[in-house]
Chains A and B, each alone.
Chain A
Amino acid sequence: MKREGLAIRAISNMALIFLAVCCIVPFLSVISSSLTEESYLTRYGYNLLPKKFDFSAYKLLFTNGNTLRNAYMVTAFVTAAGTVGSIVVSAQFAYTLSRREFMLSKFLSLYLFITMLFSGGMVPWYILITRYLHLKDSLFALIIPCLVSSWNIFLLKSHFKAVPEEVIEAARIDGANEFYIFYGIVFPIAKGGIATVAIFIMLTFWNDWYNNMLFITSPEKYSLQYMLQSLLLKVETLQIAQSSLGADVGEIPKNSIRMATCVAAAGPMVFVFSFFQKYFVKGITVGSIK
């Protein structure tokens, strides 16, 4: 019996180590390629460990690459405005859904639920935003259409339901209005739950490239992810980036610059998110219990 338990644990460990390695290796290849001298990359290819350390790609990127700086600003703005806006709008709505005293709460829950079942598709949505709301090539097109997500609202609703009824009743008897009850009492009590949702929203905004591809045309409005994408798929973007680095196309380290941009785009968030993993874990486990 005991030996069996030991064997199971050994197998589990081996399997998990294998998976963990599989998950980390691609990170290594990108990071080490960004740190390798270009001529080594051309000769020996990408590698898991840098053959010859060289920081020139990063130096070029950070000293005179205003393309990257622009993209960072765009992403930071969209992520910050999007997350705050989305939390305010969704949390207010989720709170009203969670209160039975609100006569429309059942109706509005259905109103939201229907959007989970059926949609008009991408095309009418795209035409609405570009032709009727005139948001083409505007950063607002990356924020406003993505503020409300039904899944997040249902998650928030379950967090607000957990707030004790008596607290809200007591405040109401004291004459507090609903805005005060929500922002002064319920929001602070549920802030742990709100944080878990906020971090998912943040991740979605940070990683978005799809809406960029649909709506954004001018290069100075490219977000990090979209800049990265066009660095690979569109030769022109690379040339623009290179000319902004003040050098000829020929002498710029093409591959290591690409990989360095990739690290710059993914790095901060991977770092932040592994740091806040606790909240992710909470968010996911709450969601799974519904």
Chain B
Amino acid sequence: MIQKNKNITPVRKKKKLITMQMQFLLLALPAVILIFVFNYLPMSGIVIAFKNFKFSRGIFGSEWVGLENFKFFFKSSDAFRVIRNTLTYNFCFIVADMIFPVAFAIFLSNIRKKFAVKGYQTAIFLPYFLSWVVISYMTLSFFDYNSGMFNMILQKCGKAPVSWYSETKYWPFIFIIFHVWKNIGYKTLVYYASILGIDTSIYEAAKTDGCSDFRSIFHITVPMIRGTIIMLAILQVGSIFRADFGLFYQLSQNSGALINVSDVVDTYIFRTLMVTGNTSVSAAVGVVQSVVGLILVLLTNYIVGRIDSDSTLF
């Protein structure tokens, strides 16, 4: 009897193990297939960037041109403009996203009344739920030439109305302001949560040692949430060569007059693909974007690891 059991159990166990693995695999399968099709297959499509792609001929039938598409982009006058805009805007976004949400999270942490905290949170969270299309309607109600609020105010003050959608000088500020406006509720909340995570006994200890409330903000709160600040910043640095397409496309109403300040990598890729129809150049810029993104993520993660090994992403 005992011997029999000894012989059967391992076989049965093994069989059971295999069925379990198969069941796991079946559960994972739909996602595995989708990831393969929509993430891995397009990676092989990178060859488009090295070919003169024609829709009718397909990827494999198109003619091989080597680095011509990359050369075309980097030699064009668009390249400088697109890269300059993308990098500058993203740099400003990173700085602004560090300053304002941290500041407002600290403000929020000073509020004692619970209903007030909730009220503020709800209000500053509202823009996050909107699409850029809806936000572009809001900005239109401010900047419209004929009936926009700003021009109405200007006219009331006896000044000439401004043609907002063709004046480039205002738009860098408008883009930055609305980027902050849309995301501030989300980011503030992330920082607020990590402020709430700070051990309150630290504040009490500091207070008994004679540290003022104002000083404890800079000497306790900010250092304690440093990890979160760094982590969010790395994420943003890693995608510094990617732009928020909606912000630049919708808010500017895709106005041609603003292209000098509104054209970023993602709008360029979109335009060359859908409007100009230069598929291969578009793909080439996409490859540059992906490669630069990969290098930046690895690099920032490495640097942060050297400075503060707890704050790395992986």
Binding site for B on A (CB under 8 A): 1, 4-5, 8-9, 11-13, 15-16, 19-20, 22-24, 26-27, 29-30, 33, 41-42, 44-48, 88-90, 92-93, 95-97, 99, 101-105, 108, 111-113, 115, 117-128, 131, 144-145, 147-148, 153, 172, 177-179, 182, 203, 207-210, 213-214, 225-226, 228-229, 232-233, 255, 258-259, 262, 265-266, 269-270, 273-274, 277, 280-281, 284-285, 287-289
Residues on A with beta carbons closer than 8 Å to the beta carbon of B24: 96, 99, 101-102, 104-105, 178
Residues B78-102 near A (CB distance < 8 A) = none
**Min C-beta distance of A247 to chain B, whole Å:** 21
Assembly CA distance A209 to B130 (angstroms): 12
**Min C-beta distance of A241 to chain B, whole Å:** 15
CB < 8 Å neighbour of A274 from B129, B184, B294, B297: B129
**Min C-beta distance of A254 to chain B, whole Å:** 11
Assembly CA distance A55 to B285 (angstroms): 48
Assembly CA distance A51 to B193 (angstroms): 42
Residues on B with beta carbons closer than 8 Å to the beta carbon of A23: 123-124, 126-127, 181, 184-185
Assembly CA distance A33 to B127 (angstroms): 18
Is B269 positioned at the interface, with any CB of A under 8 Å from its CB? yes
- Pairwise interchain contact B27-A182, C-beta atoms closer than 8 A: yes
- Pairwise interchain contact A9-B35, C-beta atoms closer than 8 A: no
Assembly CA distance A274 to B121 (angstroms): 10
Residues B162-181 near A (CB distance < 8 A) = 181
A-B pairs with beta carbons under 8 Å apart, 9 shown: A11-B107, A12-B111, A23-B124, A45-B151, A120-B41, A122-B282, A213-B274, A266-B134, A284-B189
- Pairwise interchain contact A121-B148, C-beta atoms closer than 8 A: no
**Min C-beta distance of A225 to chain B, whole Å:** 5
Assembly CA distance A123 to B276 (angstroms): 13
- Pairwise interchain contact A266-B245, C-beta atoms closer than 8 A: no
Is B120 positioned at the interface, with any CB of A under 8 Å from its CB? yes
- Pairwise interchain contact A1-B213, C-beta atoms closer than 8 A: yes
- Pairwise interchain contact A273-B129, C-beta atoms closer than 8 A: yes
A45-B147, A120-B46, A270-B129 known; A29-B27 Cβ under 8 A: no
Residues on B with beta carbons closer than 8 Å to the beta carbon of A270: 126, 129-130
Is B66 positioned at the interface, with any CB of A under 8 Å from its CB? no
CB < 8 Å neighbour of B32 from A93, A95, A103, A131: A93
Please give me the residue from chain A that is nearest to B112 by CB atom.
Answer: A9
Is B194 positioned at the interface, with any CB of A under 8 Å from its CB? yes
Residues on B with beta carbons closer than 8 Å to the beta carbon of A281: 121, 189
- Pairwise interchain contact A203-B27, C-beta atoms closer than 8 A: no
Is B58 positioned at the interface, with any CB of A under 8 Å from its CB? yes
**Min C-beta distance of B302 to chain A, whole Å:** 13
A46-B147, A102-B21 known; A284-B186 Cβ under 8 A: yes
CB < 8 Å neighbour of B107 from A5, A15, A101, A233: A15
Please give me the residue from chain B that is nearest to A33 by CB atom.
Answer: B141
**Min C-beta distance of A156 to chain B, whole Å:** 11
Assembly CA distance A22 to B127 (angstroms): 10
Residues on B with beta carbons closer than 8 Å to the beta carbon of A15: 103-104, 107
Tell me the number of A-to-B contacts counted with CB atoms below 8 Å: 293
Q: Most chain-B Cβ atoms within 10 A of its Cβ — which of A123, A179, A182?
A: A123
- Pairwise interchain contact A178-B27, C-beta atoms closer than 8 A: yes
- Pairwise interchain contact B245-A121, C-beta atoms closer than 8 A: no
Residues on A with beta carbons closer than 8 Å to the beta carbon of B294: 117-118
CB < 8 Å neighbour of A265 from B38, B59, B134: B134
- Pairwise interchain contact A127-B48, C-beta atoms closer than 8 A: yes
Is B137 positioned at the interface, with any CB of A under 8 Å from its CB? yes
Q: Most chain-B Cβ atoms within 10 A of its Cβ — which of A41, A97, A104, A126?
A: A126
- Pairwise interchain contact B42-A119, C-beta atoms closer than 8 A: yes
Assembly CA distance A280 to B121 (angstroms): 11
- Pairwise interchain contact B144-A121, C-beta atoms closer than 8 A: no
Residues B43-67 near A (CB distance < 8 A) = 43-46, 48-49, 53, 55, 58-59
Residues on B with beta carbons closer than 8 Å to the beta carbon of A289: 193-194, 197
Please give me the residue from chain B that is nearest to A175 by CB atom.
Answer: B16
- Pairwise interchain contact A46-B144, C-beta atoms closer than 8 A: yes
Assembly CA distance A92 to B35 (angstroms): 14
**Min C-beta distance of A46 to chain B, whole Å:** 4
Residues on B with beta carbons closer than 8 Å to the beta carbon of A20: 119-120, 123-124
User: B200-240 toward A: CB 8 Å interface, digit per residue (1/0)?
Assistant: 00000000000011100100000000001000000000000
Residues on B with beta carbons closer than 8 Å to the beta carbon of A19: 104, 120, 123-124, 184
Residues on A with beta carbons closer than 8 Å to the beta carbon of B253: 232-233
- Pairwise interchain contact B45-A120, C-beta atoms closer than 8 A: yes
**Min C-beta distance of A220 to chain B, whole Å:** 19
Residues on A with beta carbons closer than 8 Å to the beta carbon of B123: 19-20, 23-24
Assembly CA distance A210 to B293 (angstroms): 21
Assembly CA distance A30 to B148 (angstroms): 11
Residues on B with beta carbons closer than 8 Å to the beta carbon of A213: 274
Assembly CA distance A58 to B135 (angstroms): 20
Minimum-distance CB pairs A-B, first 10: A124-B45, A121-B286, A120-B42, A93-B31, A178-B23, A26-B138, A207-B131, A20-B123, A123-B283, A45-B147
CB < 8 Å neighbour of A203 from B129, B213, B254, B282: B129
Residues on B with beta carbons closer than 8 Å to the beta carbon of A22: 181
- Pairwise interchain contact B134-A115, C-beta atoms closer than 8 A: no
- Pairwise interchain contact B138-A121, C-beta atoms closer than 8 A: no
- Pairwise interchain contact B55-A123, C-beta atoms closer than 8 A: no
Please give me the residue from chain A that is nearest to B228 by CB atom.
Answer: A288
**Min C-beta distance of B293 to chain A, whole Å:** 8
Assembly CA distance A270 to B138 (angstroms): 15
